[in-house]
Each structure stands twice: as structure tokens, then as C-alpha cells.
Chain A
Amino acid sequence: MSADAHDHPNFFQPLPGTKGGIASWIFSTDHKRIGMLYLYCIVAMFLVGLTLGFLIRLELIAPGRTIMGPQTYNALFTLHGVVMIFLVVIPSIPAAFGNIFLPIQIGAEDVSFPRLNIFSWWLYVTGAVLAVVSLVTGKGAPDTGWTFYVPFSAVTTTNVDVAVIAVFILGFSSILTGLNFITTLHRLRAPGMTWTRLPLFCWSLYATGWIQVLATPVLGITVLLIFAERVLGVGLFDPSRGGDPILYQHLFWIYSHPAVYIMILPAMGVISEILPVFARKPIFGYKMIAFSSLAIAFAGSLVWAHHMFVSGMSDTAVMVFSFLTFVVAIPSAIKVFNWVSTLYKGSIRVEPPLWYALAFIFLFSIGGLTGLVLGSAGTDVHVHDTYFVVAHFHYVIFGGLGFGLFGAMHYWFPKIYGRMYDKRIANWSCLIAFVGFNILYFPMFIIGLQGMPRRYYDYLPKYAEGHFISTMGSWVLATGLLLMFWNLWRGIRHGKPVGRNPWGAATLEWMVPSPPPHHNFEAEPVVTHGPYDYTGVKPDA
């Protein structure tokens, strides 16, 4: 390693002849450094969002006022949603791990547009700052929920203007990441890296990139319309001026349903990387998994109105969108079946990343299946806007994307830092978080079915038990997550040094030193086998 460090400094060290320092990071065009910037920002924002969620749960531990008033409560759940969705979940895996590993996985030196890449990070930071500004300026923090539904968002006196501008900028940042990845995958694959040898993580980022490029602009115009509604009095969603408020919901979900696939597809990609490595077996049905990513991206843009079954749409629309929603479940199920088949008869080596991947499969399956309960209009009428929905999307987003993200952290950690965290603690933190997660969110399905509406500050005594258990779960979950972050943090400083390929994986990032050098490869690699071909590949640790 020391010889490496002299001739080829790794990407944390300054390039020969340069000084390093903060400017060499925040103005860097190196995809790995940009990915790290994103990673740290996302983790920081995740901790903020976690704290907010924790406070919301604390307020709900008992009926009536516990620690805050109703207006504060409204601001908190709005902020929790905006921070988690736009600052954590949407960028998370693509902007952090996609940036770091996509170019290396295809044998490239960088992404196609490195300067656009750092620009997109700056947009992200600007958006984050504006989100904070919206809290402390104007007449109070936004209280609309992350969905900004009209008419309330058009008339509330709180500071929605700044918040929607923040969302607009964050959307732009996301678009640039997607645009960059699509171009990179088309143009910068190393010789021999055919489309059918592309790691599935890259395939999932490719599909995600298309959603980012094609759906996000619709969010852009939607929030601009809110701005126009409030500032110019345009009234396009105002019935007294001939407008139709339901069209707002159409526009919003034309983005935001596909956006849930921006969240989950990259996590699915991570799982497809982790499973074969720890089952020592090529992934089952490579082509179907790659194809189903594209199918999800496409079918996901046909179903948005399943969020609006009780909004006053036409019955025809209710039936059509309910039917189409069932269609999206097919490619999602294909993936789950293929993952499980990959494990079948594998020689499984149980390591922390695999635990996270298994947790993902379990939690995502619950989330996806309850999605079908919501997607079928007949049942959705009863549970729409109840805690059932809250439970559903936390299972898919937190249980799915969240555990996928943690899995990615544990899987690529040794590659990024050249060290290994304490695996025993990692396993324990996964278990604690998993248990806490279920204690926190499972009762929500039940009180949701019983009729507990979402976003309510207070509730009837009959829901008290469920809320109480749920809040208990939030403490367990928080313990698990803090333990996990602490363990990783300690691993960065004190972990045992590892070589290039501690897991024995076959994708290209494991062929370069850990941490990777500035230009990734000493010579352009020539790819001669598929990403999950383990013939002759052995863990070196």
C-alpha cells in the first residue's frame, strides 16, 4: 500500500504537485470526491430528518399535546417529508454511490460531464440552504406537507414560496445527475464492456437516469405554478378563476410517482450487486433483472393517478389507473423472485452487507404487497390518507431504499476507505434497526386499517396503544442506526486495513486499489467476462 501511495496517491490524498485543502474537494471534478461530498451531505441530512421524525413520534406518544403545539407539528412533518424525500432519498444512492462507482464499474476515468457533476452538487447545497432559509424567514415554516397540495399551498401565509424554489433547484440537481449517467453509460464503457456485461447497479442507474430526466421537469413546472399562483395570482388551480385543483395533483404525481422509482431502482441495483457476491453464484436471470429496471421505469410513468382515487377523478380514470398499478407490480416481483433464486443453492457467506440485503427483500416485499392493497381502488377508498399509507411508504422507502443504502455503505465501505468496520457490531446494528423498524411501522398498518388519519396532531383514545408501541419502536430503530453510524465512523479511523477485494466480487471496482487512485485505472481495462462470473475470483482479505 505504501508503494501505491507514493506513485498513485488515492483519491483522498492531494494529487502530486497540488496542495489539497477544502477547495480541492468542493470544486473537484473527480467523480469520487463529488460522490463523497454527496454522501456526507446526505448522511447529515438523514440525521436531521431522523431527528424530526423522532420528534413527531414523541409528540404522538399520547393523545393531546405532549411536546409541541399543532402549528409546530405541521411544520415538522412538512420539513421531515421535504428533507427526507428531496435531500436524502432522491439523491441518496445515485448521487453518492452512483457517482463514486458507476465510472469505475464500466472502466471509465470519470463521468461524461465532470463539471456539470460538481455543479449539480452545488445546486444540491443551494437547495438545502434555501430549505433551511424557508424555515426562518417569511411568516413561519411551511405547513403544507411535502406534497404542496393546492388550494392550501396557494393560500397559506407560511413561507411556501422559498420552499418551492428550493424544490425546483433540487430537481434541477437531480436532472443533471441523471443526464450525466445516461451519457456516461452510452459513451464511456471500456472496451469489452458490452451492455450485457454491465453490472446491474449500472443498469438500475440507467433506468433511474431516464426517470430523472423525463419526470423531474414536470415537478419543476408544478412548483413554479405554485409560485405563480401565490406571487402573480395566476389562479390556474383556483376554481373561482376557472382553474381545477385536481390538475395540480395530476401534475404533482406525474412526477412523484415515477420519483418513487428514482428512489427504489438504485437500491434494487445495490441488492443485485450484493446478493451474487455473498451467494458465490452468478445472479439468476441477469437479463430479466436488467430488463425489469427499464420496464419499471416505463410502467411507473403510467400509474400516477393511483394517488388520487378519492380526489374526485372520473370513475373511468379510477379503473384505468387501478388496473395499470397492478401492472407495475409485475417487474418488481420479477426482481424479488430472481434475487431469491440467486440465493437458492448458493454457498452463502453471511456478512453485514448480505444482512442488509435480506432485510431489504423482506421489508420491500411487505411494502410492495401493501402497495397492491392501496392500488386496488376498492380498498384504497377506505385506507387512503390513513396511517396505512404512512406504513406502506415507510416500508418501501425506509425499509427498501433505506436498508439498500445502508447495505451499499457496508458493501463499498472497504473499497472507499481501504479499511473494514467491525463486522460483529455491524450485524448487531442491522438486527436492532430491523426489529425497531418493524415495531415502529407495523402498528401503523393496524391503526390505519382502524381509521387513524395521517398528518393529524391529535387522535382518539382507541389509537393510543398503536401510537405508543410505534413510538417505542422509534427509539429502538434510532439506537440501531446510531450504533451503525458510530461503527462506520470508527471503522474509517481505526478499521483493519484491507486489500483490493475483501468480498471476492467480480465487478471492476474491486480490481483497483482501495481507496481507488485519482484516475481509477493505471491502464484502460479490457473486459472479458460478465460482472458476476466468479471463476477464479477469491476474497483476498
Chain B
Amino acid sequence: MTGHDIKYDTGPDTGPDAGPNAVHDAGHDAGHHAVPVRTNMLVWAALMVLTAITVSVTSFDFGFLNVVVALTVATTKAGLVILWFMHLRYEGRVIRLMVFTAFFILAIAIGFTFFDVAYR
């Protein structure tokens, strides 16, 4: 690596996160993706079904797996809400990467604490 590797080509920056200064009138809201009513309804129905599952499944005892099942269902539901209701599916790469980072850091915080509490 030399000190000169900062000279780059001058091509315009038009990636998903080029600033509005770069893409001049990107400041306008109109024409944005509107999620169809039917899709929203389907997502809602799926959430309801999953709620029913997670409640009814408690009458069986899988021992340790109970928590795993409950959290798997909850995470599926969370995924539906984030991807459709919160439009993450329709967002660019930048926002998706950001969301991933945030949850990843949370997972580390909780997970690494178990290096302590699980081995005491």
C-alpha cells in the first residue's frame, strides 16, 4: 500500500447512498413503493397464526426446547413485522446492513455475557 492510493477515478457516486447533493432532486417522497393491501393482510394473518401456534404449543412440554420454540416463533413474527410492515424488504442495502449490525451487536452483548454466567 502506498500513500498514493487515495487518488481515485472521478466517476459520479450514484450508489444507493449517494447523498441528495449528488443525486439532485432525490429529496422527493412521491412515487415510493406502496405495499399492496393484500400483502399487508397476508402478513397479519400469518402473525395471527403464529400467535395461535405459540400459545397452543405451551400445552406440550419439550423441556429445554420450550424456550427455543417460543423464541423461534417470536423471531419469525419479528421478521415478518420488520420485513413487511416496516418495509425493510423494500429498502436499500445500506439500511438493511444497518439493521443487521444493530441486532448483531445486541446478540453479542447477550451472548458474550453467557461466557460468564453459563460457566460460573
B-side contacts of A247, CB under 8 Å:
113, 117
Instruction: Return the CB mask of B16-32 against A: 1 if under 8 Å, else 0.
Output: 01111110000000000
Tell me if A321 is interfacial: C-beta within 8 Å of chain B.
Answer: yes
Tell me if B120 is interfacial: C-beta within 8 Å of chain A.
Answer: yes
* Cβ–Cβ contact A283 & B3, under 8 A: yes
Tell me if A301 is interfacial: C-beta within 8 Å of chain B.
Answer: yes
Q: Give the CA-CA distance A317 to B116 in the complex, in Å.
A: 5
Tell me if B105 is interfacial: C-beta within 8 Å of chain A.
Answer: yes
* Cβ–Cβ contact B119 & A191, under 8 A: no
B-side contacts of A250, CB under 8 Å:
113, 116
Chain B interface helix/strand/loop/mixed:
loop
* Cβ–Cβ contact A282 & B6, under 8 A: yes
Known: A191-B21, A305-B116. A282 touches B8 (CB 8 A): no
For residue A188, give the distance in angstroms from its CB to the closest CB of chain B: 5
For residue A193, give the distance in angstroms from its CB to the closest CB of chain B: 8
A-side contacts of B108, CB under 8 Å:
301-302
Q: Give the CA-CA distance A501 to B1 in the complex, in Å.
A: 29
Tell me if B56 is interfacial: C-beta within 8 Å of chain A.
Answer: no
Known: A187-B20, A342-B3. A302 touches B116 (CB 8 A): no
B-side contacts of A528, CB under 8 Å:
10
A-side contacts of B115, CB under 8 Å:
305, 314, 316-317, 320-321
Known: A214-B102, A284-B3, A288-B1. A189 touches B119 (CB 8 A): no
- Interface magnitude class on chain B: 20 to 34
* Cβ–Cβ contact A532 & B6, under 8 A: yes
Instruction: Return the CB mask of A177-204 against B: 1 if under 8 Å, else 0.
Output: 0000000001111111110110000000
Known: A214-B105, A321-B115. A191 touches B13 (CB 8 A): yes
Chain A residues proximal to chain B, CB less than 8 Å = 107-108, 186-194, 196-197, 210, 214, 218, 244, 246-247, 250, 254, 281-288, 301-302, 305, 313-317, 320-321, 342, 524, 528-533
Chain B residues proximal to chain A, CB less than 8 Å = 1, 3-8, 10, 12-13, 17-22, 94, 101-102, 105, 108-109, 112-113, 115-120
Q: A250-B116, A320-B115, A530-B8 are in contact. List 13 more A-B contacts (CB 8 A).
A: A108-B19, A187-B19, A189-B22, A191-B12, A194-B8, A194-B13, A244-B117, A246-B116, A286-B5, A287-B5, A302-B112, A342-B3, A531-B6
